[in-house]
Structure 1
Amino acid sequence: MNSKIAISIAAKSKHGKRLRLGTLALSIALAFCLSPTVGFAQSTTPAQINIPAQSLHQALLELGRQTDIQIYYLPETVANQNAPAVSGTLTAQQALAQLLRGTGIEVQWSGKTASLLRSAPETTTQLAPVIVTGSLPGALPPAYAGGQMSTGGHVGMLGNKDVMDTPFSQTSYTSKTIRDQQAQTLQDVLSNDPSIVTKQNSASDEDGSINIRGFPTTFASGAGSLNGLTGMAPLRAPDMDYIERVEVLKGPSALLNGMAASGASGPGGSYNLVTKQADDEPLTELTTRYDSRSQLGAHLDVGRRFGEDNRFGIRFNGAYRKGDTPVDSIESKVGSAALNLDYRGERVRLSADFAHQSNDASPQVIQQLAVTSLGFVPEAPDADTSLNPAWSKQRSRLTLGMVRGEVDVIDNITAYAAIGKQKLDFYLIGPSQPTLRDTSGTYGWNSAEYSRYAYDVLSMQGGLRAKATTGPVSHALSLNLSQSRMEIGSAETQVRPYDYTTNLYNPVFGPAPFLADPGDPGTSSKSRVSSTAIADTLSILDERIQLTAGIRYQEVQASNFDTTTGAETSNYDSDAWTPALGLVIKPWEKVSLYANYIENLQQGAIVGPSYANSGEVFSPYVSKQYETGVKVDWGTVTTTLAAFQIARPNTISVDDPTGGLPTLALNGEVRNRGLELNAYGELTPGVRLMGGVTLLDARQTKTQGGLYDGHREAGAPRIRAVLGGEWDTPFMQGLTLTGRITYSGDQVVSSNNENLKLPAWTTVDLGARYVLDSPWSKQPVTLRFNVDNVFGKNYWSGTNNRYIQLGSPRTFRLSATFAF
């Protein structure tokens, strides 16, 4: 969170005359003495500056956020002054000079402090507040050139780090990207990343099955963090209206984030959501929306700060939409409300978040089918056709709350703590496990169900971050203690047989069976993960060489229960150590070479009754990543190139030569090797890009007798490319044209059958936004129009566990944002 400190000083002469600039100088000197972050030499190091044209006051605040200088001035000094756009690699002094050009305002420098002066009239009465711009500890990294991406993000227990100082592959999408793409769910945002395969149909609010670097994970696994607290990201389709940043960390993250309470987080990567907080400037925005086919909605965003130095903040976001979705016959009602409260003192920073999400849909919105022993996957049907009967429905309710805080114990030691809880209740009514039965498109069900589920998550953490120097070596030490608990409940009523068959290309559904309410969910599983971690980042030569080393010890306890009797059916108790190493070398100022070795931890399987070794508990699965890469900041464009290998243990079924039950053995492995090239930023003023390409070789190794060695892993395309761009048109001021093209290579549906594949697909998204003056307010009105899948491509978007997902149809999104 960025800061603006106001200092008021009143003084009079003995004759009652008010003091002039002498008093101003005194107030500036006093403010200088009170500021603990003022340096003693002007900053001459160029930095990436990106400040749009706006009022001079707002431009100065933004300059303070993006650099390490502090700026002092009276409000009347900059009143009614406008500043031009300033961007490029500049020193803070050069950027300030460009902002002040032609204003007649003079600058007096003292170290890294700039005092803005203008001749004051003799009749000055009382000195108004002096404005100081700067950054509070723990502030979000500023946006990069173009505003779509951030210059850094949260790296687990290491805290916020600049992307050039991070020995891992990291991306951070800003609220500008979320707003301008009219993203509604997390999958909408993650679709910008070429290393992530999203499978969600645009009508869906399902559990969010995604693949990162070829490894599957789901939102319901608890793999996501909220404001750095593991497991607290909403478990079902996180709504983007109250999210400020979406930060993605690719690769295993056991040291950095710890293990999710469910024990099921994938080794391909993790994400952290940052909630919106009140900024220094008052905010009131109303956005009205229309989505095809006829879904109407609105979003209200209000933020204010109060008290001395704007220490107290409140931010409220509320949204609701209702109507027909882009998939024909599906209607939905989606709502969210989120409140953030925060306090920022000199040494203490506190915040609290509360959120509620709801989603009702009929028919069910999950557009997926199981595929078994077919020779090939038939052509995808119209993407705007529902594959579920009209009597099916779903409903979810999610509520969460969390509190976090940090204290600067002394200048170089910060203590932090956070605790959060979320509850998710949802039910599904509909046919069970729809299965594709032949290559002509016939599919059907054998049963129908009414299922209720309940998730209860409690997560907490605490720790210390400290800085120290030993000779020529600087240390950034981190200590983290965490614990997460998850309880899952379920209840189900089934009608069996419910044998019904129809066809993808002309689905006709039968009458609804009678499905009794199964009642409140009974506990089906409980899990608890506790961990302790320590890490040190050692740096030398003005941080041109940085080595991060750390280790985390984790204990995992889990139990499964009979939902009817409550009796424990199996249990799990194990532990593991997971180390990590990361190295950053900066041979030149804007070039970072990096490498890492890091591990991931997943709960080992409890063998089921269909195997001879039923009840056996496997040790936690440890996945290992080796990665190296180079990051280059070209001034207004950053490029990253990464090469990685991730190996994850796999289970295989070993046949009994005597004809008995097979044995489940942990002696297979999935090995994913890949290259990632990403770029983002502003090519030239008014032209922005964001995207990249991922080449992936995902194979099975060490399978029984080598039977499947070398087979491609399911759900991992060999190539995926995403390229998005924006152009501020010169022929019409305020008009921006946008576009994105996505290509995904073919995907294997079953790792045991390389011939069963989903074909490659390409989609094109186009859009425009127009900023115009408001007739009733000084704030502009922003109109946005986006069309996803412009050409109406019908395609299978992805696969997981032999389920194939139907892609999104052509979707129109229109909105108008009014600021007051």
Structure 2
Amino acid sequence: MRDLGGVAGGTRVGSNVSLMAWRWRAMLVRLVLALFTVTCVASHSAAADGRSESASDDRKIDFNIPQQPVSSALHAFAGQTGWEVSSPADVSEGRTSPGVQGTFVPEDGLKAMLAGTGLTYRLIGPQTATIERETSSGVVPAVVAAGAAGAATGAMAAANGSEGYTQTVQKPVKVPEVVVKDVKERPHREELLPEYAGGDVATGGRLGVLGNRDIMDSPFNQTNYSSKVIQNQQIRYMADVLNNDPTARASASTSTGADDFSIRGFNVSNADIYFNGMVGVAPTFFNSMMAESLERVEVLKGPSALLNGIAQQGSIGGTINLVPKRAGADPLTQFTGSYISSTQFGGHADISRRFGSEKQFGVRFNGVYRSGDTPIDYQSRESALGTLALDYQVKRFRVVADLGYQYQNMQAIRDFTTVSSGVQVPKVPNNRGNYDGPHDFNKPQVYYGDLRGEYDILDQLTVFAAVGGSYRNSRYVLTNRNITDAAGDLEPTSTQLIAETMAAWTVEGGLQGRFVTGPVRHQATLAYTYFNRFRKEGSGPFTDVPQSNIYNPTFGPAPDTSVDPALHKIQDMTLTGTTLADTLSMFDERLQLTVAGRLQTIDNTRFTANTGSIRSTYYESAVTPMVGLVVKPWQRVSLYANYIQGLQQGPVAPLTSANAGEIFAPFVTTQYEFGGKVDFGHLGTSLAFYQIAQPSGFVNPTTNVFGINGEQRHRGMDFNIFGELTEGVRLLGGAAFIDSELTKTEDGLNDGHRGIAVPRWRFVLGGEWDTPFLSGFTLFARGTHNTSMFLDQANTQEVPGWARLDLGARYMFLQPNGKPVTIRANVTNVLDSGYWDANSFGQLTVSDPRVFWLSATIDF
């Protein structure tokens, strides 16, 4: 069953807590803004360090770069020199470099490599260059195109999902960039790594306390979805990003009003989603995170106790990290109007600017409001979001801050459903029906914020710190129904109003250093993390809900929601961790070994509802190690392996057992993984094989002693593909296979059976095609197939497999002022397929019906 006591979060409370709520919100806002202002002012003297310097690199290097596309040659050049080179995609595309062989200083090598290509370079800093077009009259900035051809190129760039666009010669504008990173220096911890070809995913993402890593330098399988996917697929809630992923999936329909996830077959609670690398900040907790303010959704597959610490809800299948949008180099003023069937209308404003002599200070605002009926019977949904992102960046100092507010009001929630033991899963009802009725609702609102900063004390030593938090309040009515027979009958139950508040704080700090010992380069990290969550809850009187049927529902009276229940504390949880990690590299980083350990402590006190008396306490510590290996036998091939653990709070023996009350050490889940990644230049692939073993506990029927006796083991394969198959054709998706097996079960009754809600296969493949017959017009299609699952450990209750087709199109054209307009149309579940989906708690949800999405985005 879904643990509403542990997962549901946030509430709108009555007058007895409203003053406290407003004081907490004001304190959070003042704290983040004050800290941001103080750090910016204190670091202003460091601004001179961020000014451009002349290039100085007199080393002579033996070049051996053969003839190849310019973009590939630039990657090779960066790898051999350690330079950073940027090139707009439309500039290098279709051009071939003659290569360069011989001994040169880097600048001369770059010049020779661009000979005859019609391109030149401009030095913008130490060992830093940008590529530009060359004409007979001099250098034309790469962002300028001429006449109608430029307009056409701009249309295609925006249609491809590019963040920028190209205009006529009179008005130079931004175009997407292919950034060639210096492979010999790690990115800054807060540095947003560039997008991969096609723009759907990024070339890297955050690895917890280790900071950002390029995927080719990471000993893990990670997919980092970009804001272009969010915008072009018209994604309104973060969970829908996972529709593009074969390994990670949202295991609940949007009609539930909450997110539930599965990664590598294990549950990942939406309460365990990270925001800028910190847990407890994102507005989740029985609440769907709105997606319009997100720049990246980073999905790390597998346990990550070393990287991110123990998850507050015990999730071990993987990690989802959200990265907010920040101000770009160019001003942005954009508005999107949208329509979602059946009658939801909304608007989204996205505005950003940079200030200062060197544009070191950035501000970005995102505001969203939507409201109206959904295609589900009786159901409506209101959503509001406001975010403000601030950043200040000079050479040695970088600081970012985020402030956000999210509100949702979902009426007539279609909630999770269970099936009685031994009963076959009935045929799915009409996917537009709502057997839960019109009375269930959820009204969460969340105030959240964070502040992150890092300072380079020395060229090779960085100190970093972060603080974040959230305050949530909600009122909700949920009726969890149970199906009692194959005819779809629902047993009678009761329901009530729940009011809840939660406050969470998280802190992180540490040092990251780079040094050399003989032939070995090191990147060492020492970090400390602290997280605290405090929850209160209250409830109204029970209301009886009569017997019903999923095909022909009947509803009882509405529960009493006029009450203002008194709130009592129900949980106080503190999680701490100290991490020491070192990445050792040799042979120009072709061999990388990461070794790390983390000491973690769980301090969790639960209180009895309505009284506030202590119900249980739990205090335990554990050390979790990690070893990761990366080997690059060739420039564009990365082989990797890892050993890492997941951590969950250990159980307490039940009162009926002979060892009642015994507290067990935290559950340790172990993963072994190896795989490979290949970058074909414009198309990327990854293949991973893994084993994850999660322990489980039960009472031995012979001795009546509770112990950690069972295990759920997953052996699987992940395959991902992304990027441009050919010019104008992009792919995103893959396949996942999971061999799930229960071992050492009670009396061996379920040995060899599959785990709950684990499909054997899942296939996802999406593609975009920039049509040649109409410039700026792009078509989209995505197919998904999920094989059958079981709802119980006995594997007697089978949930049939399902398939779904999603389609879309968009058309971009330029206004007379040269600014773009993009019209988008998407249809999810085109064939209106009705099916059950299931989660790891053995609960069912009905699939969403066919939904139409229309929007128009205008730049001003």
| Pairwise same-fold verdict (TM > 0.5) | yes
Question: Match for residue 653 of structure 1?
Answer: 699
Does residue 769 of structure 2 align to residue 762 of structure 1?
no
Alpha-carbon offset, residue 101 of structure 1: 6.3
Q: Which amino acid aligns with 2:288?
A: A
Q: Which amino acid aligns with 1:589?
A: Q
- Deviation digits for residues 261-319 of structure 1, max 9, x if unmatched? x2x23211001111100011000110000000010000000000001200111000000
Change (3 A) 1:174 1:306: same
Change (3 A) 1:409 1:607: same
Quote the Cα distance in structure 1 between the aligned partners of 2:766 and 2:333. 29
Alpha-carbon offset, residue 678 of structure 1: 1.1
Alpha-carbon offset, residue 444 of structure 1: 3.9
Number of aligned residue pairs: give it. Answer: 748
Q: 2:458 aligns with which of 394, 410, 429?
A: 410
**Which residues of structure 2 form unaligned runs of 5+?**
1-48, 100-106, 140-173, 182-186
Alpha-carbon offset, residue 672 of structure 1: 0.8
Alpha-carbon offset, residue 251 of structure 1: 0.7
Quote the Cα distance in structure 2 between the aligned partners of 1:563 and 1:96. 74
The answer to whether the 8 A contact 2:525-2:582 is kept is yes
Quote the Cα distance in structure 1 between the aligned partners of 2:279 and 2:457. 24
Alpha-carbon offset, residue 418 of structure 1: 0.3
- Deviation digits for residues 598-629 of structure 1, max 9, x if unmatched? 01111112344455544322110111000011
Q: Which amino acid aligns with 1:719?
A: W
The aligned runs of 1:732-747 (5 Å cut-off) are 732-747=774-789
SS in 2 for 1:164: helix
Alpha-carbon offset, residue 32 of structure 1: 9.8
Alpha-carbon offset, residue 387 of structure 1: 2.5
Change (3 A) 1:38 1:182: farther
Question: Match for residue 773 of structure 2?
Answer: 731
The answer to whether the 8 A contact 2:273-2:319 is kept is yes
SS in 2 for 1:177: helix
Does residue 344 of structure 2 align to residue 295 of structure 1?
yes
The aligned runs of 1:91-490 (5 Å cut-off) are 113=129, 137=188, 138-206=190-258, 208-220=259-271, 223-235=272-284, 236-260=287-311, 262=312, 264-363=313-412, 365-431=413-479, 433-490=480-537
- Deviation digits for residues 497-520 of structure 1, max 9, x if unmatched? x24122222323233244562524
SS in 2 for 1:800: coil
Q: Which amino acid aligns with 1:390?
A: P
Question: Match for residue 523 of structure 1?
Answer: 569
| RMSD of aligned alpha carbons | 3.3
- Deviation digits for residues 520-568 of structure 1, max 9, x if unmatched? 4311111111110011111111111111000000111111112322211
The answer to whether the 8 A contact 1:201-1:367 is kept is no
Alpha-carbon offset, residue 68 of structure 1: 4.1
Quote the Cα distance in structure 2 between the aligned partners of 1:49 and 1:338. 39
- Deviation digits for residues 166-189 of structure 1, max 9, x if unmatched? 101111001111111111112100
Alpha-carbon offset, residue 367 of structure 1: 3.2
Quote the Cα distance in structure 1 between the aligned partners of 2:737 and 2:826. 29
- Deviation digits for residues 396-432 of structure 1, max 9, x if unmatched? 111101111000111011111000011221221253x
Quote the Cα distance in structure 2 between the aligned partners of 1:381 and 1:391. 19
SS in 2 for 1:750: coil
Q: 1:495 aligns with which of 542, 553, 561?
A: 542
Q: Which amino acid aligns with 2:356?
A: G
Q: Which amino acid aligns with 1:200?
A: A
**Which residues of structure 1 form unaligned runs of 5+?**
1-29, 52-58, 73-80, 122-130
Change (3 A) 1:96 1:409: farther
Change (3 A) 1:356 1:607: farther
- Deviation digits for residues 48-93 of structure 1, max 9, x if unmatched? 9879xxxxxxx9xxx9xxx944689xxxxxxxx9965627997898
Q: 2:722 aligns with which of 680, 683, 687?
A: 680
SS in 1 for 2:540: strand
SS in 1 for 2:230: helix
Quote the Cα distance in structure 1 between the aligned partners of 2:460 and 2:300. 27
Q: 1:787 aligns with which of 806, 824, 827?
A: 827
- Deviation digits for residues 632-670 of structure 1, max 9, x if unmatched? 11121111111100011101233367xxxx553221111
Change (3 A) 1:590 1:574: same
Quote the Cα distance in structure 2 between the aligned partners of 1:805 and 1:338. 31
Quote the Cα distance in structure 2 between the aligned partners of 1:281 and 1:617. 56
Q: Which amino acid aligns with 2:354?
A: R
Question: Match for residue 688 of structure 2?
Answer: 642
Does residue 859 of structure 2 align to residue 819 of structure 1?
yes
SS in 2 for 1:308: coil
TM score, norm. by length of structure 2: 0.82
Question: Match for residue 582 of structure 1?
Answer: 628
Alpha-carbon offset, residue 464 of structure 1: 1.2
SS in 2 for 1:34: coil
Q: 1:668 aligns with which of 704, 710, 713?
A: 710
The answer to whether the 8 A contact 2:506-2:530 is kept is yes
Question: Match for residue 633 of structure 1?
Answer: 679
More strand by percentage = 1
Question: Match for residue 29 of structure 2?
Answer: none
Quote the Cα distance in structure 2 between the aligned partners of 1:423 and 1:271. 20
Q: Which amino acid aligns with 1:721?
A: F
Q: 2:604 aligns with which of 555, 558, 576?
A: 558
SS in 2 for 1:179: helix
Question: Match for residue 78 of structure 1?
Answer: none
Quote the Cα distance in structure 2 between the aligned partners of 1:268 and 1:153. 18
Question: Match for residue 6 of structure 1?
Answer: none
Q: Which amino acid aligns with 2:440?
A: S
Question: Match for residue 848 of structure 2?
Answer: 808
Alpha-carbon offset, residue 199 of structure 1: 2.2
Alpha-carbon offset, residue 757 of structure 1: 1.2
Q: Which amino acid aligns with 1:595?
A: A
TM score, norm. by length of structure 1: 0.85
Change (3 A) 1:38 1:486: farther
Alpha-carbon offset, residue 96 of structure 1: 12
Question: Match for residue 22 of structure 1?
Answer: none
- Deviation digits for residues 677-728 of structure 1, max 9, x if unmatched? 1111100000000111111011111122322211110011011111111000
Change (3 A) 1:393 1:44: farther
SS in 1 for 2:839: strand
Change (3 A) 1:243 1:68: farther
The answer to whether the 8 A contact 2:222-2:299 is kept is yes
Alpha-carbon offset, residue 674 of structure 1: 0.4
Change (3 A) 1:172 1:477: same
Quote the Cα distance in structure 2 between the aligned partners of 1:37 and 1:426. 59
Identity %: 37
- Deviation digits for residues 752-790 of structure 1, max 9, x if unmatched? x21101100000000001111224x32110111110000
Alpha-carbon offset, residue 391 of structure 1: 2.5
Quote the Cα distance in structure 1 between the aligned partners of 2:823 and 2:487. 44
The answer to whether the 8 A contact 1:694-1:721 is kept is yes
Change (3 A) 1:172 1:495: same
